[in-house]
Amino acid sequence: MRMNHKFLILFNVILLLVFVSISSLATQYPEEKAIRIISPTGAGGSNDIVSRLVTSSAQQIVGQRMDAIAMPGAGGQEAVHYVMNQPSDGYTFLITDYGCLITPALREELGYDLSDWKPIIQITEYIPTIFVREDSPIKDANDWIAKAKAEPNKFSIGHGTNLCPPHIGLIMIERATGMENAWVPTSGGSECLAFVLGDHVDIGASIPTTIASSANAGLVRALGLTSAERSKFLPDTPTFKELGYDVVSTSWLMIFAYKDVPEDRIEFLEDKLIEALKTDGAVSMAKKLNIELFLQGREESQKIYNRTVEDLTSLFADLNMLKK
Amino acid sequence: MEGIFSLDFLLTVVQEAFRLKIIIFSALGVFTGVTVGAIPGIAGDVAIALLLPFIYNLQPVAALGLLLGIYKGSMFGGAISAITFGVPGTGGAVVTVEDGYPAKKNGYPKKAMLTALFSSVTGDIVSTVILVFLALPLAMVALKFGPKEYFSLYVFAILMISLLLQGGMKKGLMAAAIGLLLGCIGMDPITGTTRLTFGIRHLRGGVPLIPLLIGMFAISELMTQYLKAWYRNRSKYIKESELSESSSKLSKESGYNPSKDIMSFKVYLSTLKATFIGSFMGTFIGALPGAGSSLAAFVSYGLAKRLSLHPEQFGKGSLEGVAAPEAGNSATVGSSLIPLITFGIPGSATAALIGAAFMMMGMQPGPLMMQDNMPAMYTFFVVILYASIMNLFIGYFLIPIYAKFSMIKPRFIYPLLFILAIFGTYASRNSIIDIWLLLAAGLLGTLLKKAKYPLGPLVLAFIIGPGAERSLRQALLIGQGEWSSLLKSPIAIGFYAVTVVTIILITKAKFQEKFS
Amino acid sequence: MKRFFLNYDLFLVGFITLIGLVGLVYFQFGMSPGPTGPFIFPKLSCFIIFIFGVLTMIDTLGEKHADTDPEVNILSVVLFGILSILYVLFFSRIGIITATFLFLVFSFSILSPKGVASLKSSIAYSAFLTFLLWIIFVQIFKIILPQYLLF
């Protein structure tokens, strides 16, 4: 028995050495290359749904398989770092709003510069929307502002995660109006809506697609939007600009390439994606999904992106939230 | 409402629901969910995530059928892995391991698996019936749960489980606190501040659940059993090992006697109370957005143990201890759709996927969903019901095969389990660091097991800790930092009262046991 | 003191209690105050660990025999631990499929009562299982595994 055992161990060690010595012949398994759009939020969420709209509309036109992959975690940084670590061959892209890309990078060192990311196209816009329960004692936006100014922190406001676009919109409103409310971060738009409907918070800050169905059913009432123009999902809701407050704060949803992705590849995708999202099929699917398409090409998207970086840098500097 | 009882309406619904494509995809989904969920090392969520690209390439109706099938199948599949190998595929299956794995070791794996199947399907059907007839009232109750109420529920769950599971109360609470501390690693749920990462970027998102679960259960079990398998074969004292190599199905080493492993209606009836406790508890907890199937399984187990006539059997292979959590976690499938359908608020990550599939069909989840899409919704309910029946038949067909796997000799099973744990962990996030976390969790699990710390409270606290923290801090933010604001809710007071009474009763029982 | 190290239960609970204490001290200084701050929960967890750790230590000191699980053999843990670390180190160098095949051959043959006579069957089983894993994970689920050898 002992002899057999010794022989066995020796045999296994030799086998190991043989394989290790020819390991230099290893080749990467050839993989059918699909274009992957990585979303930093969970499957079924708004980013993920837009991402699926893009991949299903664009596959035929781009002429290649396209996969929408949700990779939540670490406040979006899982997805961001995943895309960063992929080869720069133009097959892996990030779809995100500024909340998962710009905001965290302004607050801590994350291993990338904001200039490393190149927007390819903008697809839609998220508009921070302030809303209350239908039976809330707050009549309208002006009523809210007056009451909140008279009694700071009287009202509790639920919003998504800390410093997400609706929260930033809320901060901008407070700065422009001089009021103070108690912020209550939640796990996202759904929890925020649940808290408002259940009367656990007085007010909510979310985006139109999250509250549209409840608004249409008469369960909630939108007080105001922080966009330049009204949303077609909430046509009766005024913007804060209309109400006389200089607040315009929206979040775009863009597809990004990380640095070193070849220019011709980005150009190719820009053309094909815009073409795909203008087709009747894409437009009707977007309507079904309550997505208002707001298409912009590379150049315009880059300008918008740069402006957002500047605006957020200035805001965080004022709030003493920039990284040291 | 009268419309839904008309013959035309019923015929339309039945015709739509029994379209061949939907039946085939639902069956395929259940089969895939059970099979993938039963592979130790592949968590139920991983099964859904891996199959997601296939789901979204289908037409929405077929996609819904497939998704539902996988959701249900993987819930039950996790029980097979828990019972057969002691490896939980999801957080909820951790509790199934408590009694399911000892049941297998005691020689009745098939009975345990069938109990899990029948109670799973019962729970599923109960929650589906409640979904169909009581969705709105239950959703209104669920909306009453805000931060204060959630926190009180989490406190109740953690304390109950820490005190009830095998092992001393103090060790149970310590294990829960370790789980809470592990859950604090990464970004905090309110401000996003990173904690306890010690500069390791990969831990920014926290310790992932899958390596922790599989490490603590599978790897720790392997660490303790591996050498035993070698030793058993080597020892001069165990001569039967030579015989068992050539014996056919009965392994004398494991002492399996098929005649003692037969399920009967009487056995099912004996677990019916536990099944119904799990079904109703699971339905209620599933309707609370974000509460999760793990919480449902743990609370169902705890309650079933409290109300059982034989609580001393729990943790030693009690079939009630298998029935309750399985009914509990399966019951969340139907009820997690309640907030989605009534208010557009998904009750779970999978419910969010189902919501996305609805949207792709042009149906907006929310208060108007039922009224605007009545035939489609009732078709969907019928599909949910028959997917449960499919789960029953497919599960029943697969169980004898898995029961045979459970009796494969340890020297084959252990190395394979290890490899599956590695592959399953890697498949979830493509990360080598997760593999190291897996091994570290295995070491931690082993060290704790050696000193008889129960792992159940640790896992539960790890899973619900972030939610509990978020609820606590939200409640305090709303209450302007006043701790007394936590008690400004009759529901919260109710849960705290039940918690105090439970602690008193359990402590009293343990004192009596000690001094008798 | 010798008893402390010999008594595994006491040693472990002492170690965990110490972690609780260190955590309490760590979170006390320089961390944002207030019940709504990010350090309330870690503090609470460390507090519970410390309190119940002390109580458990008192209980354990009073016991005559260590209350440990005899099923858990430390030698087994160490040996398996070394084997698994080697496996993980190897698979990132020679590829997961190759490393898996080798690990299975090693395990099946070492654990077999028949010694070298089982080598052929061990290789056959290992090759078959490795192939099955490759089919499931690479072909069906399309997971990209760490770079592997020859195929």
Give the per-residue pLDDT at A20: 42
Span B472-516, pLDDT tens digits: 999 999 998 899 999 999 999 999 999 999 888 888 877 777 776
Partners of A66 in the β-ladder = A35
Give CA–CA dist A276/B63, Å, rounded.
Answer: 23
Task: Locate all alpha helices (DSSP H) within chain A, ordered by sequence.
Answer: 2-21, 46-62, 77-84, 98-107, 141-150, 165-177, 189-197, 208-216, 263-277, 280-288, 298-318
Say yes or no: A200 and A134 in one domain: yes
CB distance from A25 to chain C under 8 Å? yes
At A169, which CATH number? 3.40.190.10
**Is A195 inside any structural domain?**
yes
Q: Which two tokens stand for residue A246?
A: 């200089």
Residue B205 CB neighbours (<10 A) = 21
**What is residue A29's DSSP assignment?**
P
| Interior/surface letters B385-394, b for 16+ CB within 10 angstroms, e for the rest | bbbbebbbeb
Number of folded domains that form chain A? 2
Partners of A125 in the β-ladder = A252
Residues 31-60, chain A, touching C (beta carbon < 8 A): 31
Give the per-residue pLDDT at A30: 29
CB contact under 8 A, B427 and C92: no
**What is residue A30's DSSP assignment?**
P
Averaged over C132-148, what is the pLDDT?
Answer: 73
Residue B4: is its pLDDT beyond 60? Answer: no
Averaged over C113-121, what is the pLDDT?
Answer: 70
Residues 202-241, chain B, touching C (beta carbon < 8 A): 219, 222-230, 233-234, 241
**Is A242 inside any structural domain?**
no
Mean pLDDT, chain B, rounded, equals 84
Give the per-residue pLDDT at B189: 87
Residue B409: is its pLDDT beyond 90? Answer: no
Residues 20-59, chain C, touching B (beta carbon < 8 A): 20, 23, 34-36, 38-42, 44-46, 48-49, 52-53, 55-56, 59
Picking from C111, A203, C65, the residue whose alpha carbon sits closest to that of residue B231 is: C111
Averaged over C7-28, what is the pLDDT?
Answer: 88
Own/partner contacts of B400-405, CB < 8 Å, gap of 24 or more, are B400/B110, B402/B38, B402/B80, B402/B84, B402/B113, B403/B84, B403/B109, B403/B110, B403/B113, B403/B261, B404/B249, B405/B84
Domain containing A59: what range? 35-125+251-318
What is chain C written as a DSSP string? Answer: -HHHHH-HHHHHHHHHHHHHHHHHHHHHSSS--STTSTTHHHHHHHHHHHHHHHHHHHHHHT-SS----TT--HHHHHHHHHHHHHHHHHHHHH-HHHHHHHHHHHHHHHH-TTGGGGHHHHHHHHHHHHHHHHIIIIIIS----S--S--
User: Is-contact C79 C23, C-beta < 8 A?
Assistant: no
Give the per-residue pLDDT at B513: 73
Give CA–CA dist B31/C85, Å, rounded.
Answer: 35
Give CA–CA dist B221/B211, Å, rounded.
Answer: 14
Say yes or no: A210 and A64 in one domain: no
CB contact under 8 A, B345 and A194: yes
Burial (CB count within 10 angstroms: exposed 0-12, middle 13-18, buried 19+), residue B397:
exposed
Say yes or no: A146 and A192 in one domain: yes
Residue A3: is its pLDDT beyond 70? Answer: no
Residues 65-104, chain C, touching B (beta carbon < 8 A): 67-69, 71-77, 79-81, 83-85, 87-88, 91-92, 96, 100, 103-104
Give CA–CA dist A21/A41, Å, rounded.
Answer: 43
Give the per-residue pLDDT at A31: 38
Give CA–CA dist B240/B139, Å, rounded.
Answer: 59
CB contact under 8 A, B178 and C16: yes
**Is A11 inside any structural domain?**
no
Q: How far apart are the first and last CA of chain A?
A: 66
pLDDT grade for B244, boundaries at 50, 70 and 90: very low
The residue extents of the domains of chain B are: 2-234+269-515
Residues 453-512, chain B, touching C (beta carbon < 8 A): 465, 468-469, 472-473, 476-477, 481, 483
Strands A220-225 and A203-206 come out as unpaired
In chain B, which residues have their Cβ closer than 8 Å to the Cβ of C16? 174, 178
- The most confident of the ranges A286-290, B26-30, B316-320 is B316-320
pLDDT grade for B161, boundaries at 50, 70 and 90: confident
CB contact under 8 A, C115 and A11: no
Kindly identify which residue of chain B lies nearest to residue C38, measuring between CA atoms.
B188
Q: Is B105 helix (H, G, I), strand (E, B) or coil?
A: helix
The CA distance from A17 to the nearest CA of chain C, in Å, is 11
Say yes or no: A114 and A180 in one domain: no
Give CA–CA dist B102/B86, Å, rounded.
Answer: 9
Residue B195: is its pLDDT beyond 80? Answer: yes
Burial (CB count within 10 angstroms: exposed 0-12, middle 13-18, buried 19+), residue B222:
buried
Q: Whole-structure pTM over 0.90, yes or no?
A: no
Averaged over B312-333, what is the pLDDT?
Answer: 93
Averaged over A287-311, what is the pLDDT?
Answer: 92
Q: Helix B410-429 to helix B432-450 angle, to the nearest 10 degrees?
A: 130
Partners of A39 in the β-ladder = A70
Give the per-residue pLDDT at B54: 66
Give the per-residue pLDDT at C151: 42
Phi, psi at residue A223, to the nearest 5°?
Answer: -90, -40
User: Is-contact C143 C137, C-beta < 8 A?
Assistant: yes
Residue A25: is its pLDDT beyond 80? Answer: no
User: Is-contact B80 B399, C-beta < 8 A?
Assistant: yes
In chain B, which residues have their Cβ closer than 8 Å to the Cβ of C38? 188, 190-191, 193, 195
The partner residue sitting opposite C8, judged by closest CB among B196, B241, B451, is B451
Span A56-80, pLDDT tens digits: 889 889 888 888 888 888 888 989 9
Give the per-residue pLDDT at C149: 46
Query: Between chain A and chain B, how many beta carbons pairs sit less than 8 Å apart?
Result: 134
**Is A1 inside any structural domain?**
no
Give CA–CA dist B133/B153, Å, rounded.
Answer: 26
Averaged over A47-63, what is the pLDDT?
Answer: 89
How much is the ipTM here?
Answer: 0.88
The CA distance from A216 to the nearest CA of chain C, in Å, is 35
For the ranges A19-28, B429-438, B473-482, C92-101, which has the lowest average pLDDT? A19-28
Span C19-74, pLDDT tens digits: 999 998 888 765 555 667 888 889 999 999 999 999 988 888 877 666 677 667 77
Averaged over C82-86, what is the pLDDT?
Answer: 89
Residue B469: is its pLDDT beyond 70? Answer: yes
**Residues 6 or more apart whose Cβ sits within 8 Å of residue C28:** C43
Averaged over A122-144, what is the pLDDT?
Answer: 95
Q: Which residue has the higher pLDDT, A26 or A171?
A: A171
Residue C129: is its pLDDT beyond 50? Answer: yes
User: Is-contact B476 B483, C-beta < 8 A?
Assistant: yes
Residue B203: is its pLDDT beyond 70? Answer: yes
Give the per-residue pLDDT at B2: 46
CA B179 to chain centre: 17
Say yes or no: A275 and A199 in one domain: no
Span B315-325, pLDDT tens digits: 899 999 999 99
**Residues 6 or more apart whose Cβ sits within 8 Å of residue B499:** B152, B155, B156, B159, B160
pLDDT grade for A300, boundaries at 50, 70 and 90: very high
CB contact under 8 A, A81 and B201: yes
Q: What angle do CA A250, B473, B494 make, to 5 degrees?
A: 125
pLDDT grade for B100, boundaries at 50, 70 and 90: very high
Q: Which two tokens stand for residue B19?
A: 């379209």
**Residues 6 or more apart whose Cβ sits within 8 Å of residue B80:** B34, B37, B38, B113, B116, B398, B399, B402
Burial (CB count within 10 angstroms: exposed 0-12, middle 13-18, buried 19+), residue C47:
middle
Give CA–CA dist B287/B347, Å, rounded.
Answer: 6
Averaged over A157-163, what is the pLDDT?
Answer: 93
Residue B120: is its pLDDT beyond 90? Answer: yes
pLDDT grade for B450, boundaries at 50, 70 and 90: confident
Residue A273: is its pLDDT beyond 80? Answer: yes
Picking from B348, B10, B339, B356, the residue whose alpha carbon sits closest to that of residue B145 is: B339
Residue B247: is its pLDDT beyond 90? Answer: no
**What is residue B368's DSSP assignment?**
T
User: Which chains lie within 8 Å of chain B at 3 or more CB pairs, if any?
Assistant: A, C
Picking from B360, B353, C122, the residue whose alpha carbon sits closest to that of residue A53 is: B360
What is A90-137 written as a DSSP string? Answer: S-EEEEE-HHHHHHHHHHS--S--GGGEEEEEEEEEE--EEEEETT-S
**Is A5 inside any structural domain?**
no
In chain B, which residues have their Cβ closer than 8 Å to the Cβ of A199? 146
Q: Which two tokens stand for residue A27?
A: 């080749």
At A57, which CATH number? 3.40.190.150
Q: Which residue has the higher pLDDT, B444 or B358?
A: B444
Give CA–CA dist C130/C132, Å, rounded.
Answer: 5
CB distance from A28 to chain C under 8 Å? yes
**Is A60 inside any structural domain?**
yes
**Is A12 inside any structural domain?**
no
pLDDT grade for B424, boundaries at 50, 70 and 90: confident
User: Is-contact A259 A114, C-beta < 8 A?
Assistant: no
Give the per-residue pLDDT at C117: 60
CB contact under 8 A, A4 and C98: no
Residue A28: is its pLDDT beyond 50? Answer: no
Q: Which residue has the higher pLDDT, B54 or A216?
A: A216
Give CA–CA dist A240/A246, Å, rounded.
Answer: 7
Give the per-residue pLDDT at B52: 66
Give CA–CA dist B463/B173, Å, rounded.
Answer: 15
**Residues 6 or more apart whose Cβ sits within 8 Å of residue B48:** B33, B67, B70, B71, B74, B350, B353
Span B337-367, pLDDT tens digits: 999 999 888 888 888 888 888 887 788 888 8
The CA distance from A23 to the nearest CA of chain C, in Å, is 6
Picking from A211, C109, A165, A17, the residue whose alpha carbon sits closest to that of residue B233 is: C109
Say yes or no: A263 and A120 in one domain: yes
Give the per-residue pLDDT at C150: 44
CB distance from A297 to chain B under 8 Å? no
E strand or H helix at B232, and its extent? Answer: helix B220-234
User: Is-contact B109 B406, C-beta < 8 A?
Assistant: yes
The partner residue sitting opposite A213, judged by closest CB among B208, B344, B352, is B344
In chain B, which residues have their Cβ closer than 8 Å to the Cβ of A163? 192
Residue B260: is its pLDDT beyond 80? Answer: no
Give the per-residue pLDDT at C73: 74
Say yes or no: A169 and A150 in one domain: yes
Give the per-residue pLDDT at C81: 87
CB contact under 8 A, A25 and C150: yes
Give the per-residue pLDDT at B236: 41
Q: How far apart are the first and last CA of chain B?
A: 61
CA B255 to chain centre: 29
Give the per-residue pLDDT at B415: 85
Span B69-85, pLDDT tens digits: 888 888 888 898 899 88
Averaged over B180-192, what is the pLDDT?
Answer: 91
Span B275-305, pLDDT tens digits: 999 999 999 999 998 888 889 999 999 999 9
Residue A46: is its pLDDT beyond 60? Answer: yes
Give the per-residue pLDDT at C33: 57
**Residues 6 or more apart whose Cβ sits within 8 Å of residue B456:** B94, B95, B98, B161, B165, B175, B298
Give the per-residue pLDDT at A97: 94
Task: Could you list the beta-strand ranges (E) of B95-141.
Answer: none
- The most confident of the ranges A240-249, B245-254, B348-357, C100-109 is A240-249
Residue A143 CB neighbours (<10 A) = 14
Give CA–CA dist C149/A19, Å, rounded.
Answer: 9
Q: How far apart are the first and last CA of chain C?
A: 57
Residue B440: is its pLDDT beyond 50? Answer: yes
Picking from C118, C98, A16, C130, the residue whose alpha carbon sits closest to that of residue B230 is: C118
Say yes or no: A120 and A133 in one domain: no
Picking from B355, B344, B349, B362, the residue whose alpha carbon sits closest to that of residue B64 is: B355
Of A209, A225, A241, the one marking the end of a domain is A225
pLDDT grade for A270, boundaries at 50, 70 and 90: very high
User: Is-contact B223 C81, C-beta < 8 A?
Assistant: yes
Say yes or no: A221 and A133 in one domain: yes
pLDDT grade for B393, boundaries at 50, 70 and 90: very high
